[in-house]
Structure 1
Amino acid sequence: MLISPCNSVHTIGMRYPIDIVYLNNKNKVLKIQRNLQPWRSSACRGATQVLELAAGNTDNKNINQGDTLSWQD
């Protein structure tokens, strides 16, 4: 799920961990928070968007800090 505008997330009330990818306005990966457990929070200064993925997907999709992401319709 892509959330914009956004630079922080929480997992309060969630029952499973997630991966968080923080992006700037040009879709450049600023920070990755892998396996964020329930009842935690995370933030990234300079981020304008957050991509939430199932835990492990940043590794499975080989997403790394400094990458620029793009989407196709």
Structure 2
Amino acid sequence: MGIVRGTAERRTVPAGAGALVLDFTGAPNPDAPQWTVPPVTPGTCGPVAADFEQWNILRKLAATAGWSL
């Protein structure tokens, strides 16, 4: 999989391959476009009920297979 070209935007396939289209070999381009964006205040998602039963099953399976946990 590689870079998809020929569209209005460059996209990478898969999306995690962004480094393939970035050029880190030269100096930064001071003429590159700049955008003004509103500030962001990070926050939590609130309480989340966790269900670890599936993880406990995986842990037991790994221990049975000899993995040191």
Please, what TM-score do these two structures have when normalized by structure 2? 0.21
Structure scoring higher RCO (CA < 8 A, sep ≥ 6) equals 1
Higher helix share: 2
Higher strand share: 1
- Whichever of the two has the greater Rg, that structure is 2
